[in-house]
Amino acid sequence: MITIQGHTFHLQAGDISYAFTVDKAARNLYWGGAIGGEDLPKLAVEGFHSSFDPDTNAERGEYPVWNGHDFTLPCLKVQGTQRVHFLTYQSHELEKDGKTERLTLRFDSAAFTLALVYQLYPNGIIGRNSVITAKEPIQLEKAFSASVNLPCYQECEVRYAVGKWARENQLQQHPMSTGILTLQAKRGIPGPQYNPWVALCEKDAGETHGRVWFAALAYSGNWAMHIEKTEQGNTHIVAGVNDFDFAWALQPQQSYTTPVLYIGFSQDGYGAMSHLMHSFVREHILPPRGLRRVLYNSWEATAFDVRVEEQKRLAQKAAQIGCELFVVDDGWFGQRHSDKAGLGDWYVNREKFPNGLSDLIRYVKSLGMDFGIWVEPEAVNPDSDLYRTHPQWAYHIPGVEPMQARNQLSLNITLPEVQAYLKGMLGKLLRENDITFLKWDMNRPLTDMDSPELWSKHVQALYSLWAWLHQEFPHVELETCSGGGGRVELGSLAYAYQSWPSDNTDPYDRLFIQEGYTQLYPVDTMMCWVTESGEGRAPRSLDYRFCSAMCGGLGIGANLSKFTQEELEVCTRWIAQYKRWRPIIQQGVLYRLLSPIQGDMTAVQYVSQDRHEAVVFAFLRGQTYGTLRPPLRLQGLDADAEYAVNGTVYSGKTLCNAGISLALRRDFQSAALYIEKV
C-alpha cells in the first residue's frame, strides 16, 4: 500500500515500511520494519551543520544530483551542471496493477525532467529506477538507478559476493567503516569478480537473526554499487550502470531509462532475505515455466570432437539413466575443431553431421528426450567466414588492431545488420530443427569500444535479441553462461530460465559457490552438474557428487561412455530420486542449515510450500580425531505435526529443536534425507 500525506510518501507491504518526503528534492525518512504512518513526521533527524555542510538533511537524498549541497555520491551528473541543482518537484502519479503499485515522482529543471519510479510488490520488495528526459541537448556523465539510505547512524556490516573464473560467488563480510566501498564490473558483462547485489546488516546478524537491508541490480553489462558511510555516520547505497567510461547524449524529448534496482528488508537474517528474493524472482522476474529438466551435456565427454555417432552413443546412455534433455555443446558448427576458428559460422558442420542435426535430433527424441544446443552469438573468430566477409562487424577502434581473447573478437550486436544476421541464423537453426533449449555463452570481456555509449547499447541490443527469441520461439528455454558464472543477475534472468553458476563442477567447491548463488537467486535457476571426479583431488564418490548437484537444477556432464554398469545404475537411482523430490527442491523454501565456510559440515534443507515434505542434503568434508557432531537441527517444519524420517516418526518441534543425528564418518561423505508429514 502506498499512502500520501502532503509531500510525505509511505510505501508499506509485507513487513516493511519505506518512507520519504519531497520538498525541492526527495529525502528519505525511514526504511525498515513496518511502522505507523502517523509517526513519520517524528522521524526526521537534524544532521550535523557547519559552513561546509549547510544543508543538514542533504545526506539522505533519494536521488542526489551533483552540484548542490549534497556532497555524497551522486546518482546523476550532467555535463555542464551549473543549473542542475535547481531541480524542483512537480507532481506524482500512482498506478495499480493487481497487487503491485507503481509510484512516479516528477521533477523539473531547465535542461531536463527527471522521473523517479517506485514499484511496490506484495512481499515488500521495491523496484527503483529513474528516467531522464532532455528539454535541450544534454550529455549524461552519470545516471545511476537510485540511492537508498539505511536508518540514521546505523552501525552495520556489509556482505557481498566476490570471485573469479571457477571460483564465483564467494561470500565476504566485514564491518562497514567510514569511506566508500565499490563493487563493480567494467568488462561489458556482469562478471564473476563481483555479483551485483549487496546486503547491509546489524552487527552479528546471521542466517536466522538480525536486520538486513539489501539491494540487487537487474543489469547485464557494466554496473557499479557504491556503499558510502559518511563522516557523519550515515550509510547509503548508490547503484546502477557504471559511470566508468560512460556517456549518453540526449536530444530534446529523448529519454534515458536506468535499470531497476530491487531493494528489500529482512527482520530475520540472511535466510529470510533469501526467502523474500527467491519468491519475488520466481513470481515477478523469471519467464513462466515448469520444473527444470534433468539434462545431459556432452561437452566434457567430447569437447570439440562432436560427431553424430558418438553423440548418439552418449544420448543412449543419457536416456538409460533418466535424463530428459540432451544438449550438444561447442563444436557442432563451421570449422570448429578448436577455439581458434569457426565462431560466427553458425551452419552445421557436415563432416561431423552428414545429415545435419535432424538425424541426431530424431534419435534423441526417439529415446524420450528433448534436444538442446550451445551457441555464442556475441563472438566471432578472426578465422571464420563471417569475419573474412564482414570484419567491420566486430568491435574495433579505427586504425587499431582489435584485441583477441580466447582467440575471438566480440561482434558489434548494436549494428542493425548484425542483429539481422543473428536473427536470421538463430531463426533458421530453430525453425529447421526441433530444439527446445539454447545455452547462450559469452567467453570473453568486451573491448575495443570506440564510443562510451556502446557499453550500454550492447546490453540493449542483447535484451532485444532475447526478447525476439521469446516472441518467435516461446517453447525454447534459454540458459545464460559467461565463462561460467559471469552472467548471473536479475537482468538476464528476466529472459533466461536458468544460469550456469561456474565452470567448476567439483562437488565440494560447488557447496561454496552454491551458497553464494542462493543468497539472492532461486535454486531452480542454478544448474549443477555431476561430472567425473577431478584429478589431483581426494576422490569424491558418485553419491557425494549427486547430492551436491541435486541441490539445484540437476545436470550430468560426465563421459558416460567411461562409466561402469554399476556406476550407471547409481546414476539411474539418484536421477529417479531427484525427479520424485524435484518439486520440493525447485519450488520449495531453502534453508541453509550449516555453511561450508564455518566448518567441515555443510547442510541444506528444502521444505515444500505447504510444509508437508522436506529434503535435506548433508556433507562432511573431513573427519578428524573421530569427532562426533551434534544432531542437525532442521527448520521450517510444522512444529505441531509429526514427520517420518527414514521410517522413524518425530514431531516437528523435535526435529527443529533437538535435531536428528547423521551417521557421517568418512571424508567427503554425504547424506540425503526425505521427510514427510504423517
- Which are the catalytic amino acids? 441, 503
Secondary structure of residue 634 in the 3-state scheme = coil
**Pairing status of strand 255-257 against strand 126-134:** antiparallel
Q: Measuring CA to CA, how many Å separate 79 from each of 63, 83, 114, 137, 249?
A: 17, 10, 16, 10, 10
Amino acid identity at 116? L
* N-terminal to C-terminal alpha carbon distance within the chain: 39
Residue 279 is classified by DSSP as H
Q: Is 405 helix (H, G, I), strand (E, B) or coil?
A: strand
Q: What single-letter amino acid sits at 261?
A: L
For 35-178, strand residue ranges (E) read 76-78, 88-97, 100-108, 112-120, 126-134, 138-149, 157-162, 170-175
Rounded to 5 degrees, φ, ψ at 411 are: -75, 140
676 DSSP β-pair partners = 613, 644
Q: What is the DSSP string of 356-373?
A: -HHHHHHHHHHTT-EEEE
Residues in the chain: 678
Is 258 within 8 Å of 241 (Cβ atoms)?
Answer: yes
Q: Is the separation of the CB atoms in 61 and 47 below 8 Å?
A: no
| Residue among 216, 217, 224, 218 nearest 244 (CA) | 224
d(CA 113, CA 253): 10
The answer to whether the beta carbons of residues 376 and 442 sit under 8 Å apart is yes
Q: Where are the alpha helices (DSSP H) in 305-405?
A: 308-321, 357-366, 385-389
* CA–CA separation, 347 and 356 (whole Å): 9
For 2, residues 6+ apart whose C-beta sits below 8 A from its C-beta are 9, 10, 11, 12, 94, 101, 103, 118, 120
Under a CB-based contact definition with an 8 Å cutoff, are residues 61 and 26 in contact? yes
Residue at 295: amino acid letter: L
572: three-class secondary structure by DSSP = helix
In sequence order, the 6+-apart residues with CB closer than 8 A to the CB of 280 are: 121, 123, 125, 262, 264
Largest Cα–Cα distance in the chain?
80
Three-class secondary structure of residue 402 per DSSP: coil
